[in-house]
Amino acid sequence: MKRITANENQVSKRQREAIIILVGGMIGMVISMGIGRFSYTPMIPIMQRDLEMSYRLAGWLAGVNYLGYLIGAIVYSFCHTSRGQGMSSSFRLC
């Protein structure tokens, strides 16, 4: 049976703390990106009022925003099918 020394215990404790910080940061990013992504559409009327934005400009802004999502989805689909299947391939960049 292996004996755990004080130094190995400290490394293990540091790794656990790092993982907790990493997971907390990931959860924070998921929440903030989700809120930002879905709050854009309800904000358009407020932006129109406060910035005196026309319907035409608001339409262009919304269209460009959704075009960005479409382009990202298309690029990702080509990357995903060309690289193979699996969890690790979905996180790779083209």
| Domain segments of the chain as ranges | 1-53, 54-94
Asked if 58 and 47 count as a contact pair (C-beta separation under 8 A), the reply is yes
Task: Judge residue 48's burial from the number of C-beta atoms within 10 Å of its C-beta, 0-12 exposed, 13-18 middle, 19 or more buried.
Answer: middle
| pLDDT the model gives residue 87 | 45
What is the pTM assigned to this prediction? 0.48
pLDDT tens, position by position, 6-35:
565 666 888 888 889 999 999 988 888 778
